[in-house]
Amino acid sequence: MKVQVIYHSLSGCTEKLARGIFERLDCEDKSLHDLSQGEPELDGDVLLLGYWVDRAGPCQPMRELMERVEGNHVGIFCTLAFWCDAAHGAASLHNGAECVKARNTVIGGIVCNGHMSQKMLESFRSMKAGPHSANPASEARWELLKDHPSDCEISLAAERFNERLTLLRTLNAQGVAFPSIEI
């Protein structure tokens, strides 16, 4: 079974997560692709697609790829700069799944915390008012999340996808279709 891990990352969080997942995948036939270097030939049995969250959904380059992917088993991962356990985090993963679920089998997903890029921090700190302007609570959150995704998050993501690959192999051997997961 061939697994392709494909990601897009601006400031390194999603790349860190993608590399960590890739390194920990219990799978001999696997490859890692940075979408900003061009789109790979999609010849995997499983695609693990990773994006940074842009307004509660996949960043544009990954969204465009997701909307074209067809007939695959797809796993989804993403990083965002807000709490990953907030409704906004769940929505950001859900909106990625929405892009692929009609034409593919969704084998799972995970949303992880990332850091806020220096450029975004500077922009928010320069705002005088508004929902994104810096305040003590957002400053404290940015400080707390500055090294995310953490090793624990990366391990959890790898565990999740390894388990789903095991399930897929088991079901394939029995001739049973993987029941797509509603995310």
SS3 labels along 115-129: CCCHHHHHHHHHCCC
Distances from the Cα of 174 to the Cαs of 131, 165, 168, 171, 178, in angstroms?
52, 14, 10, 5, 11
Strands 105-113 and 30-34: unpaired
Of 10-18, 35-43, 61-69, 121-129: span binding ligand FMN (CB under 6 A) = 10-18
- By CB under 6 A, is residue 134 in contact with ligand FMN? no
- By CB under 6 A, is residue 114 in contact with ligand FMN? yes
Is 145 within 8 Å of 116 (Cβ atoms)?
A: yes
Give the residues across from 4 on adjacent strands.
31, 47
- By CB under 6 A, is residue 82 in contact with ligand FMN? yes
Of 20-28, 67-75, 77-85, 161-169: span binding ligand FMN (CB under 6 A) = 77-85
Of 8-16, 29-37, 125-133, 170-178: span binding ligand FMN (CB under 6 A) = 8-16
Please identify which residue in 62, 99, 116, 154 interacts with ligand FMN, judged by CB under 6 A: 116
Please identify which residue in 5, 46, 48, 52 interacts with ligand FMN, judged by CB under 6 A: 52
Choice between 153 and 158, CB closer to ligand FMN? 153
> Torsion angle, CA of 45/46/51/54, rounded to 10 degrees?
90
Please identify which residue in 66, 80, 111, 168 interacts with ligand FMN, judged by CB under 6 A: 80
What is the token pair recorded at 138? 């957002």
Closest residue by Cα to residue 114 from 17, 19, 5: 17
Of 13-21, 27-35, 36-44, 99-107: span binding ligand FMN (CB under 6 A) = 13-21
Residues that bind ligand FMN (CB under 6 A): 9-15, 52-56, 79-82, 114, 116-117, 120
